[in-house]
Structure 1
Amino acid sequence: MNQDNNQSRRNFLKMGAVATAAFTIVPRHVLGGKGFLAPSDRLIVAGVGVGGKGDSDLRLIHESGKAEIAYLCDVDTRRAANSVKRFPKAKFYKDWREMYDKEHKNFDAVTVSTPDHNHAIQTLAAMQLRKHVYVQKPLTHDIYEARILTAAAKRYKVVTQMGNQGASNDGPRLLREWYDAGLIGDVHTIYAWTDRPVWPQGIPWSKNKAEVPKELDWDLWLGTAPSKDYVEKLVPFNWRGWWDYGTGALGDMGCHLLETPFSVLNLKYATEVEASVGSFYVDEFKRGYFPESCPPSSHVTLKFPKTDKTLGDVTVHWMDGGIQPTRPDELGADEMFGDGGNGTLFIGTKGKMMSNTYGDKARLLPLSRNENLNVAQKFARVPNQANGHYGQWVEGCIAGYGKKELSSPFEIAGPLTECLLMANLAIRAADVQKINDKGKVTFPGRYRKLLWDNDQMKVTNFDDVNQFVKRDYREGWKLGEK
């Protein structure tokens, strides 16, 4: 909570002690009647990016009953319309920097739900003001940014949560309890898959410059990204398929599907990664080369070192674009694999288990193993599961840093995000183009295993890809490390 609120609370308590010297406890209804919340029990929130997912984030935070949505910020008034209508008393801004500068003494916490390329700069600036933060997945666009935010959360002692709400579902906790009980032995291999992207990828950038809608501040939307002309259909969703702004299918779904392996096995940072990617065909005879765009499909393999929950290294396979692993023998021919388009499969020495998106519907394989299953509950459940992810953060902010357990604080979300972005390094390596001494175009990053030095945050055997670990921001924009 901000310093002014804390001082007000101290003054209030001193005054109350004098006025009610005969009492040791003052009932809440005496102070303010039914439903009264003392200043220390209410979180004042500012939203950055309040359309689409940002709108639903704010709605669910407000429904916790202990948060007031006081400020709204969005570069596009069309996208902000629902939140503006939902929270008519909230003051509206287009530029988050102006909102932070003018209002930072008046709010306690910030939600960030903007395109990936602006997450880090908006989040770090809030943390440096000692504001608690809730940030949509993926946490950042670059590995370097994720490392900075993870450290900053600890340095500034603010309460953090990433918006992979499935981390608060019962499913991941069930999987942890089953694994800890030894039901599938030692896990050595994991598969996660998605039917995303459902937006265009593997395509050329449009050459047709379009008029910027009057409701959209295009320069603010670009933020840290390179200057480009506005094109149709990029906003509000298709930016995900372009490396300047998005992180592809991995960024969109990886935090939902790989959270369970991270929580079950205590995975942290991978040491090796390799990828194969699908190609876009310009016509039936020619494949396209569009390095600005994420590929239409990929299969990435990551190697994680032994943890306190495994006997050895763990291999994680990521598949997108509709690619799926072979159905396990224990699953019937007509039984649903994951939720159909998405899922996560754990392969252990004594059995297998799987879940849907958001870690939902955890089950052992074969499905008959789930009948009369009785494993003692070991981990506390989050009330309202995924929807409770938001209220859990609100409660954590009110309690203060380190006082309550959260499902996806940056100490967990940071390494998880780095894993996804490391996988993207291997995907992007496939598009690094060079001309050899014979004048022939080559792709030296393809069909190569990348070796990762985690301390140095660099690939040690293919330097060309390290440019994507920490990108250069557009002039005038800077990540404000302190």
Structure 2
Amino acid sequence: MSEKRNKLKSDSRRKFLKNTGLASAGFMIVPRHVLGGPGFVAPSDTLNIAGIGAGGKGRSDMTSFTESPNARIVAMCDVDDRQAVESRKNFPKASYYKDFRTMLDKEKDNIDAVSVSTPDHNHAVATYKAMEMGKHVYVQKPLTHDIWEARMLTEAAAKFKVVTQMGNQGGSGDGVRKMQEIYDTGIIGDVHTVKCWTNRAIWPQALETPTKKNKIPKGLDWDLWLGTAEYRDYNDAYLPFDWRGWSDFGTGALGDMACHIMDPAFRILPILYPDSVECSVSDAFKGKFETANYPKSFPNSSKIHINYPRTDGMGNIKFTWMDGGLIAERPEEMGDDEPMGNWDGGILFIGDKGKLLADCYGANPRLLPLTLNEQFEVEQTIKRVPEGHYVQWVNACMAGYGNAETSSSFDYSGPFTESVLIGNIALKSYFEIDPKAENKGFWSGGSMYHGRKRLQWDAENMKVTNFDPANKYVKREYRKGYSVG
């Protein structure tokens, strides 16, 4: 396992260091018969893109792709006609569908690539079907809802040989590259502790599961919106944006922001998979604890501790994630009024020689104390991505699989997503009844529920080894009509 970790991390590191060199420098035009392969589009052609999810982030994603003169939106689908209005005006020539399965089947000869911007619970099924058809894919973060899905998409990307990108746009930013360059100088030494925080959630959480049946709005296909999730009556509490806080659909604050804020640590440090996780929560559930194994709504705030064995065998890196307004302790090197990250959050590397702080997306990296930055200049050694995250993916699709890099291809973002979602396994199993607990009839400060237990994680087998009730959150059961693989 350690050799596999080292190879994966080495490959990801090597790709990051050379990342976007081909795309930023332009790509060579060669004959179609020379490149070939599934999902290939000749560089001289237009990239025809289909959007799965036309409202909200899907709308902005499709617009961003067309910043490239080579990209064209030829089809789109959305289960909610209300959300698709603006996109249908922006791309009037694009075919429109409700069901992504229907769209992919009917448009298979017209599209080269697919963008997936649905709620989290439907990412994997839509993405897998597109890749299986040989289509390049761009998928919003987090890559998947569950860890098992992330592993399946990582393997599928290599199998079907398509160009992939997860939508954590900071991965193509200058900030994380400069952060890497600062780290590489050795000025902060070996990092042993990382702290991350965000202001999310900015949607309602810590709620009882709705029981009221509201009228389904005109234009919404509720059954299609549910997709993989277990059927339940429509309720206004879920749409159009608040699904993020419900664990059957969204992935909470972690899913929304960790793919941005944790990215510098996973990209720069010698880590791959964690081996343990534990959490604590605040205002976790306003209902009666005994009415369900766990609340279906994420807590208002949480603190998650993750342990990473270093891939170089030199010990561990301790990681703490905080959300809901929780924030790391101010380092002694910082002044009382100096900002800790930005409004969206921040990340702090603590090394044995110094500290390095950055905002969300790894932006504005700076040494602590801040006066060090006035006397320290770092050489630029990593190529930048001036075209940005979206156009980088378009260029890579045009060049063809294996001929250009993307910043968050699935061989990187798949394991990264697994690392993010391990925190949600801890959160979801926080109130699970521990079958080994002595007191099972009442709340007793953690004995009825596992809350204070550290979960031991076997990443290779995707399994919690010391608390079996948590394993049902590794892989969900889909409703009939949906599958991965």
Q: Do they fold alike, i.e. is TM over 0.5?
A: yes
Query: Could you tell me which amino acid in structure 1 is paired with residue 426 of structure 2?
Result: A
Q: Is the 8 A contact 1:48 1:96 kept in 2?
A: yes
Query: Could you tell me which amino acid in structure 2 is paired with residue 78 of structure 1?
Result: R
Q: Percent identity?
A: 51
Structure 2 residue 471 is matched with structure 1 residue 466: yes
Quick one: distance in 2 between partners of 1:64 and 1:471?
37
1:433 Cα deviation (Å)?
Answer: 2.9
Q: Is the 8 A contact 2:123 2:144 kept in 1?
A: yes
Larger displacement relative to structure 2 (122-131 or 40-49): 40-49
Q: 1:315 aligns with which of 318, 322, 341?
A: 318
Quick one: distance in 2 between partners of 1:91 and 1:297?
42
Larger displacement relative to structure 2 (230-239 or 457-466): 230-239
Partner of 2:127 in structure 1?
A: 123
Query: Could you tell me which amino acid in structure 2 is paired with residue 401 of structure 1?
Result: Y
Structure 2 alignment gaps of length 5 or more: 1-30, 34-40
Structure 2 residue 360 is matched with structure 1 residue 357: yes
SS in 2 for 1:413: helix
- Summarize deviations over 1:243-275 as a string: whole Å, max 9, x none: 110111000001000000011114211011111
- Summarize deviations over 1:18-41 as a string: whole Å, max 9, x none: xxxxxxxxxxxxxxxxxxx98734
- Summarize deviations over 1:204-259 as a string: whole Å, max 9, x none: 02222111111111000000000010001411111111111011100000100000
Q: Is the 8 A contact 1:281 1:288 kept in 2?
A: no
- Summarize deviations over 1:115-151 as a string: whole Å, max 9, x none: 0000000000000000000000000000000000001
SS in 1 for 2:44: helix
Q: Is the 8 A contact 1:302 1:317 kept in 2?
A: yes
SS in 1 for 2:102: helix
Partner of 2:173 in structure 1?
A: 169
Query: Could you tell me which amino acid in structure 2 is paired with residue 253 of structure 1?
Result: M
Quick one: distance in 2 between partners of 1:130 and 1:439?
51
**Aligned length in residues:** 442
Q: 2:282 aligns with which of 278, 281, 296?
A: 278
Structure 2 residue 294 is matched with structure 1 residue 326: no
Higher relative contact order (CA 8 A, sep 6+): 2
- Summarize deviations over 1:99-130 as a string: whole Å, max 9, x none: 11111111100000000000000000000000
What pairs up with 1:217-366 in 2 under 5 angstroms?
A: 217-280=221-284, 282=286, 291-308=295-312, 311-366=314-369
Q: Is the radius of gyration larger for structure 1 or structure 2?
A: 1
Partner of 2:403 in structure 1?
A: 403
Partner of 2:428 in structure 1?
A: 428
Partner of 1:391 in structure 2?
A: 391
Structure 2 residue 115 is matched with structure 1 residue 114: no
Quick one: distance in 1 between partners of 2:174 and 2:423?
27
Q: Is the 8 A contact 2:116 2:139 kept in 1?
A: yes
Quick one: distance in 1 between partners of 2:289 and 2:124?
38
The 1:254/1:212 distance shift into structure 2, 3 A limit, reads same
Quick one: distance in 2 between partners of 1:171 and 1:59?
24
- TM-score, normalised to structure 2's length? 0.87
Q: Is the 8 A contact 1:281 1:287 kept in 2?
A: no
Q: 2:164 aligns with which of 142, 160, 179?
A: 160
Q: Is the 8 A contact 2:285 2:295 kept in 1?
A: no
Q: Is the 8 A contact 1:279 1:288 kept in 2?
A: no
What pairs up with 1:40-189 in 2 under 5 angstroms?
A: 40-189=44-193
Structure 1 alignment gaps of length 5 or more: 1-8, 12-36
1:438 Cα deviation (Å)?
Answer: 6.3
Q: Is the 8 A contact 1:280 1:287 kept in 2?
A: no
1:444 Cα deviation (Å)?
Answer: 3.6
- TM-score, normalised to structure 1's length? 0.88
Query: Could you tell me which amino acid in structure 2 is paired with residue 330 of structure 1?
Result: E
Quick one: distance in 2 between partners of 1:306 and 1:434?
31
Larger displacement relative to structure 2 (142-151 or 422-431): 422-431
1:443 Cα deviation (Å)?
Answer: 3.4
1:362 Cα deviation (Å)?
Answer: 1.1
- Summarize deviations over 1:127-186 as a string: whole Å, max 9, x none: 000000000000000000000000111111100000000111111111111111111111
SS in 1 for 2:181: helix
Q: 1:203 aligns with which of 201, 207, 221?
A: 207
Structure 2 residue 477 is matched with structure 1 residue 476: no
